[in-house]
């Protein structure tokens, strides 16, 4: 069993692919079969596995979620940290803050077009920390 951290720089709202960084961590652990569990330590960011071939998929997801959870909704009372903060919390609630990916033959068992992303929900994000647990 092994725990490490990955840091992803997410300076603005959007999807940030960190698949290669995660794959490197898995390779370094030299585990042939197991499970890689990820957890993002922020309340306005999330994790997802998504298509990594066509950038229009990312844009469509971002646009759709921004339309679903708009800024400046009059129902929000949590507004002290800016117009994008409460929508960021809602978006992370609607998506996922943790993922599990099998390890097969020493590699993440991702499909051909799948990538692992941090989804920053704030307009101005920052350096985000992801806890990675790898176990047999």
Q: Tell me: the pLDDT tens digits for 22-52?
A: 999 999 999 999 999 999 999 999 999 999 9
Instruction: Report the distance separating Cα 72 and Cα 80, nearest Å.
Output: 12
Sort 1 into a burial class: Cβ within 10 Å, 0-12 / 13-18 / 19+: exposed
The pLDDT score that the predictor gives to residue 136 is 87
In tens, the pLDDT along 107-121 reads: 999 999 999 999 999
Give the separation between CA 4 and CA 82, rounded to whole angstroms: 32
Residue ranges per domain, the chain? 2-72+79-135
The predicted model scores a pTM of 0.94
CA distance 69 to 122: 12
Any idea which fold 2-72+79-135 has? Answer: Jelly Rolls (2.60.120)
């Amino acid at each position: 069993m092994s725990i490490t951290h990955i840091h992803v720089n997410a300076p603005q709202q959007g999807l940030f692919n960190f698949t290669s960084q995660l794959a490197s961590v898995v390779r370094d652990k030299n585990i042939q079969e197991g499970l890689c569990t990820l957890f993002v330590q922020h309340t306005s960011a999330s994790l997802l596995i998504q298509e990594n071939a066509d950038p229009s998929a990312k844009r469509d997801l971002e646009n759709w979620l921004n339309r679903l959870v708009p800024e400046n909704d009059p129902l929000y009372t949590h507004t002290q940290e800016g117009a994008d903060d409460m929508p960021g919390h809602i978006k992370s609630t609607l998506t996922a803050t943790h993922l599990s990916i099998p390890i097969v033959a020493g590699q993440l068992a991702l499909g051909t077009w799948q990538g692992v992303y941090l989804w920053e929900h704030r307009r101005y994000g920052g350096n985000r920390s992801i806890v990675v647990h790898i176990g047999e």
